[in-house]
Amino acid sequence: CAKEGGCIHQYIIPYSSFCPVHCPEQDVQVTPEPGTDCPICMEPVEDRTTFRTMVCPACKRAWFHRGCIQGQAMRAGALFFQCPLCRDGEAFTVEMFALGIRIPFR
């Protein structure tokens, strides 16, 4: 119910949880081009960052759905998790951890 309600849980120490009013947001000043699709599911994304729509902090061109990037993180694990478009791993992983994406260490 927390996911459906827009709550964010950070899976890094100190394991914080945030309600939709106080949750961390991406600090990017870009909007997707009209007709931008998620590179994972190939479905359209929203026209701005929201709880369900996120952008890569490195290239600012890869827009994706929270559920899609969460699935990719679970499949890739910490060693292979990276932006699906620019392949940045460092800044991308740090940002996704802060935004509540669970990235397993395996």
Task: Give the fold, CATH level 3, of 35-99.
Answer: Herpes Virus-1 (3.30.40)
In sequence order, what are the beta bridge partners of 37?
A: 44
Q: Kindly report the pTM of this predicted structure.
A: 0.83
Identify the pLDDT of residue 45: 95
Q: Count H helices, E strands: the chain? A: 2, 4
Rg of the chain in Å (alpha carbons): 13
pLDDT in tens, 29-52: 888 888 999 999 999 999 888 888
